[in-house]
Chains A and B, each alone.
Chain A
Amino acid sequence: MKKRKLRGIESLKSKYGYMFVSIWVIGFVLFFATPLIQSVIYSLSDVVIGGETSFAGIKHFKMLLTEDPDYTKNLSASLSSILYSLPLILVVSLVLALMLNQEFRGRLFFRAIYFLPVIIATGVVLKYISGYGSTTDKVSESVTDNMFQVTDIMNVLNLPAGIAEYVQTIISNIFSLLWQSGIQIVLFISGLQSIPSSLYEASRVEGASKWEDFWFITFPSLSRVTLLVAIFTMIDQFTSSTSPIIETAYSKMQTGIYDVSSAMLWFYFLIVIAVMGVFLILYNRMLMRRWG
């Protein structure tokens, strides 16, 4: 008797579950899943506008990788930009979060400042402010160039060309890096606030310095948040519409070449998914080690 009633509640629960999810699922299937599958089909066939689409196999992928001179270049540019942006965004946002987490006057004001770009820098505003499509120079570049005279310093230091170039990319991108770390700063601050203060009290009793506090308490406690931030940053960077692959694919799409552009995007996303998959496996491993 009791058992049957429980089952009744469970089935009621699952019935309502379906009801609550259904509206969203319909929207998702219609406007996300179907287009996604459609674009896979495009990438595997010859699309003629106004004509028939016919199956073409992996022809476009082959063509992109062996014949197209720009594709592999763009691909490596899109993927490798993460190598400098990810560590930099992590460090910058962690340092800023540590500072903004302290008690000082006007701290809410500064937090708001660092979060502001997240709110207003989207789409057309971002494009216009950072200088694309406008006739004024790119503000960021002109300002940073005047401030640092990067090339001069590089010449004085006589660094190897690779490192000099690396540093130069960082400095000319410092605006976009700061502008892309808004959410990361918030995530780090909330991570910092969830560390129990008793740990710091204990370490003070033991006589540890602030430096040791950071490396033995703060940093290990932040490991999960750090990974979350890393994943978030990677998704953000890989899918940003300023990535060269997405830009070229989109301009191709606007001229009506759907098959090749879909293939371009899909090959890129397959690599991104693989990278993220490896990352997520590492993430889960770490959780296992922590809890198991």
Chain B
Amino acid sequence: MLQLVKRPQPSKAMTYLSPLLALAITLCAGVVMFQAMGVSPGRALHAFFAAPLASKYGWAELGVKATPLVLIGVALSIGFRAGVWNIGAEGQLTFGAICGGGIALWLHRAETGWVLPLVLLCGALGGMAWAAIPAFLRTKFNTNEILTSLMLTYVAILVLSLLVHGPWRDPGGYNFPESRDFSESATLPIILAGTRLHLGWLLALAMVGATWALLARTLVGFQVKVIGQAPAAGRHAGFSLNRMVWFCFMFAGGAAGLAGIIEVSGPIGQLQPSISPGYGFTAIIVAFLGRLHPLGVLFAGLLLALSYLGGEAAQILLGLPLAVTGVFQGMLLFFLLACDVLIHYRIRPRRRMSSAAA
């Protein structure tokens, strides 16, 4: 039998090694899974992790997929550090897309430079508005934010469905539940010719830098860490928990809304009933895998973006179902959580009691 022994100090080395260990175990588990599905593990892993990155276009796609994951993941990591559990980023993403997209549709004839900034701003504000509901309910009525933010995700997706099936349906679109295409001036510019990599990627990188500075250098970042680790100490220091709940929700809601509008005004280019393959949920994995640290989240975002691309490649090359992606992501998070035990504990063989009576 093995036994867990608490370390006197949390291990710094394990903090960084644990994600790598988790990744390695996930790959091993992947081999077993593919074997069980009757697919050659070598070909499957190649299709998953190498094939998507064989070209410049592939690398650019990685950035496209990573953009929403990094944007949301970085913002969620702030909340998770403070013990504010915003699980509804998917809904905030959707509502951001609705608000920003609504402006884009409304201004579809305008062809000036200020349309895009306005659209992006409205997207972010939309996400914040949606996030304000759970924040308000938590601070005012003490309502569990996990459940409310999650319920609101379902509601936001239904709102989007209602709009594209009804008032916002493209008049010339053969009755498909889609809006008209956004105009040129409401579409994100491409930053790498010949690919789909758009301005949003730079926004995501800027977000990583800004969040890093916030956490490492500012009083607000300090408050986030204190309240998350020891709420009572935060109260004694005069930090307001309610204000922190609001800050975390506004920050994550804004980022998720921005990610939503970036998706629809970038790669998608119109409003549809489904605008995200669960980026808002995957971003939760991204945040934990990245150790709730902005730079870590950047790498984790790229890794999980690869799992989306890999899932698509495996579907095309090997006919594997897309659901494999979700299984991979879930396993990765499981193994990470399991490996994290090594940060605070050492594992050693259980010793028998050496008492004479034993």
Asked if chains A and B come from one complex, the reply is no
